[in-house]
Structure 1
């Protein structure tokens, strides 16, 4: 296979000028241990119409760096299908907002709300998360 040729001057195209193939935004670390969720539940909280946010700043002795995030929906949200739909939407909102508005060294838990998280438009959920982060950090 031959390298691509630039149609203008006939030279071999330089493929390093374009955007990187891998996203450069920081990767979110997902909380999986119950103890992390419990510690976040006893820290700062902020409710919005679409999302309930729990946030805590990690201690200096905790080794994890970056932003950690967890997602949860109680059975009040609905059956398994409704809970999974709400959590998928929470993950998408977190992926879009937390790298820009979250702070490194913090744990965030996004809690879905009954009948609202799964039905609100994504831009509204994003605004709710930005507002909640502003209140927690402000």
Structure 2
């Protein structure tokens, strides 16, 4: 994939976009929770960040937000899907995690969000007898 083929990123700025992403698919990793919503258009990838006061004071929250922004810049152009809104909700682990671990976490979360991770209950087909052996 050439750099021209990679999706560009924009930021989520409106509360309604954050709320819509919160109702959509979720994938949790150690450092953050990733929420993703398909807008059903061919627009740019949009990304929002949330760090609650439970995580720490303003200095800590801003440091975590900067770290998440850098990780997103590294991963989202190659892994994000056009027409999607993503919200990264930080956890306290994001402050002290190594940068490569954060990158790996985001790649894993995107993979899970788009169906490449764990099997979900709606993907498992149950047999007619309730799964009991014959």
TM-score, scaled relative to structure 2: 0.79
Bigger radius of gyration: 1
Partner of 1:44: 25
> Within the alignment, does 1:69 sit opposite 2:47 as a pair?
yes
CA distance in 1, matches of 2:71, 2:89: 12
Contact 1:51 1:125 in 2 (8 A): no
Q: How many residues align?
A: 112
Question: CA-atom RMSD, angstroms?
Answer: 1.5
CA displacement at 1:51 relative to structure 2? 1.6
Unaligned runs of 5+ in 2: 116-134
Flag as ranges the 4+ runs of structure 1 deviating above 3 A. Answer: 23-27
Structure 1 range deviating more: 87-96 or 26-35: 26-35
Is the contact between residue 7 and residue 78 of structure 2 (CA under 8 Å) also seen in structure 1?
no
- Find out whether 1:35 has 2:13 as its counterpart: no
Shift in Å at residue 27 of structure 1?
Answer: 3.2
Q: Which runs of 5+ in 1 are unaligned?
A: 1-22
1:119 counterpart = 2:99: no
What is the TM-score when the length of structure 1 is the normalising length?
Answer: 0.77
Maintained 8 Å contact 2:7/2:80? no
Matched, 1:102 2:80: yes
Give 1:86 deviation, angstroms: 0.4
Instruction: Point out the structure with the larger helix share.
Output: 2
Corresponding position: 1:84 with 2:44: no
